Structure 1
């Protein structure tokens, strides 16, 4: 009877337990069984060590992270002379094999972690109080806004080029259809083949915004995704777990931090004021609501805020007042 209790859970099921290939019911059954006795717990622990042995051997032999559970189980059956194909059959692993596995696993895990560490040489670039440009080895260029950072492996794998972003950056991606460029930021990913676009992903902000200048971008969050092309932007609202696309505003300010350029082409004064407030982080009021409809066309290149407002005022015959840091535009309008 004692022998039956020890083997009410098969080694095959325990092996699948350590590989993650089990149902919630099977996990519960294994935990309940192991709690019945110290002998059961020891057998579970020994099986875990043996699984680690097989997984490490597979990694060293094939040099890849993916692990085939069925193939590994075949190795277990071969090493322990397990006959037949019924995976539900209960058979006890020889103690000598488990002791060998325990010792070998310690050695192999040391080698395995050394290989993992060697393969994961991560490069980090941080922009603190100034904009930083980084040219990657494959030709892509990344411009980091202040207080932003990126990290990436020193050598991309052959399937994709993966970069992690914190903050805001502008990407000019070298085209390579066989090796997509993937950006990971918070709970979202941006996948491209070759294009230029801006990603704003501030920790303190509720939104992550992707603005495309050229090419096409696949913006994804959880089970949602949007294809973005020039003329559209993607917005992910973290608080609502909502991803959506909308048309790019007439006045584009997403990369002012990089280009220092503001372009207004026959836009309303109201739209221009909104863009200037966002760009310069200031507050501007119009003395009369009818001023909102006045049209303006002008390009500002790396100008101070006061100069921008002075040019707009002179163009539309307005006056500028500065009242304790708040700017007010006054006048009769443009009719």
Structure 2
């Protein structure tokens, strides 16, 4: 509706008087003017409503943008904080079991570890990031604390053993020809290099894998009595058809002596159970089993 100039002036005067408290709609106003004023009031009310509605919409829009930006910032902050935590160099510690000794230690996550003679474990003082990683040189028995969100990784030369929570043993001395991983309880995954690239095997309780370093071959087998594999924790050495070469390596670490034998003797298979006997008695038993003679040397013993 288009208002005439005269009507517009009358309405303006009406509002001026209204602001002074001197004017209301009444019979003295013409009927047409009353209609015009009412119509103007309706239009003004609608405009104010639309203005308020628009302001509310703008508020909702701005609030939504702020909320979205805050969410993105929070995600970014958490990701950066997480990355920063992983980038911070961990304080590394080293545990060494001297020859003739067995060392037991507990890690920050509750994992229990026994190190056999001549073994070394490198581990962080506190685990950070998405995994728990340690490095082993030698032989150890692990009882890993379960943590489904952070797997436990053991690096032994080129072999990596991955677990979530289980008990197992790893034998990975640098001077040995092979690396052995045996599972007592639970499940582990062992990754090893092969001529065709990295390969991995999953092991469950009473299974073991042997990795030949020189040939890069993998052999998986069963273990009749896993307790024999970790009997060294109690000072025992159990062998079941094991080459004399491997027995000699264990004896040298346990008794901190040097033992020599001819290549032919080193290939002989030994079945024995030594229970804290003296090295002298052990050497006599081995000489009898291999039909050889034992001679005491300046640094240890000689089998020939």
TM-score band by shorter chain is 0.5 to 0.7
Q: CA deviation at 1:140?
A: 0.6
1:120 paired residue among 85, 90, 103 = 90
**Separation (CA, whole Å) in 2 of partners of 1:195 and 1:188:** 18
Q: Where do 1:15-30 residues align within 5 Å?
A: none
**Separation (CA, whole Å) in 1 of partners of 2:147 and 2:96:** 26
Q: Where do 1:1-40 residues align within 5 Å?
A: none
Q: Deviations over 1:217-267 (max 9, x none)?
A: 111114211112232211122222323312236697543432222568xx8
Q: CA deviation at 1:305?
A: 5.2
Name the counterpart of 2:80.
62
2:213 paired residue among 228, 238, 257 = 238
**Separation (CA, whole Å) in 2 of partners of 1:203 and 1:303:** 26
**Separation (CA, whole Å) in 2 of partners of 1:262 and 1:164:** 24
2:202 paired residue among 222, 227, 244 = 227
Question: Contact 2:283–2:294 at 8 Å: present in 1 too?
Answer: no
Q: Deviations over 1:180-235 (max 9, x none)?
A: 21111211110112222221112222311112222221111142111122322111
User: CA 1:137–1:235 in structure 2 vs 1: closer, same or farther (change >3 Å)?
Assistant: same
User: CA 1:167–1:231 in structure 2 vs 1: closer, same or farther (change >3 Å)?
Assistant: same
Q: Deviations over 1:56-87 (max 9, x none)?
A: xx99981344xxxxxxxxxxxxxxxxxxxxxx
2:146 paired residue among 156, 175, 180 = 175
Q: CA deviation at 1:157?
A: 2.6
Name the counterpart of 1:195.
166
Q: Where do 1:79-118 residues align within 5 Å?
A: 118=88
**Separation (CA, whole Å) in 2 of partners of 1:321 and 1:198:** 33
User: CA 1:211–1:251 in structure 2 vs 1: closer, same or farther (change >3 Å)?
Assistant: closer
User: CA 1:179–1:155 in structure 2 vs 1: closer, same or farther (change >3 Å)?
Assistant: same
1:211 paired residue among 182, 204, 216 = 182
**Separation (CA, whole Å) in 2 of partners of 1:259 and 1:226:** 30
Which structure is higher in strand share? Answer: 2
The structure having more radius of gyration, on CA atoms, is 2
User: CA 1:61–1:218 in structure 2 vs 1: closer, same or farther (change >3 Å)?
Assistant: closer
Q: Deviations over 1:108-131 (max 9, x none)?
A: xxxx9xx88854222222233333
Unaligned runs of 5+ in 2: 1-75, 253-258, 262-268, 296-300
Q: Secondary structure at the match of 1:63?
A: helix
**Separation (CA, whole Å) in 2 of partners of 1:253 and 1:272:** 13
Q: CA RMSD in A?
A: 4.2
**Separation (CA, whole Å) in 1 of partners of 2:249 and 2:79:** 56
**Separation (CA, whole Å) in 2 of partners of 1:60 and 1:231:** 42
Unaligned runs of 5+ in 1: 1-57, 66-111, 285-291, 313-317, 329-335
TM value normalised by structure 2:
0.52
Q: Deviations over 1:273-324 (max 9, x none)?
A: 969667546799xxxxxxx9xxx9x975323356579999xxxxx9x99643
Q: CA deviation at 1:161?
A: 1.2
Q: Secondary structure at the match of 2:233?
A: helix
Higher relative contact order (CA 8 A, sep 6+): 2
User: CA 1:121–1:278 in structure 2 vs 1: closer, same or farther (change >3 Å)?
Assistant: closer
TM value normalised by structure 1:
0.48
**Separation (CA, whole Å) in 2 of partners of 1:261 and 1:118:** 42
Q: Quick check: 236-245 or 137-146, which moved more?
A: 236-245
**Separation (CA, whole Å) in 2 of partners of 1:182 and 1:278:** 26
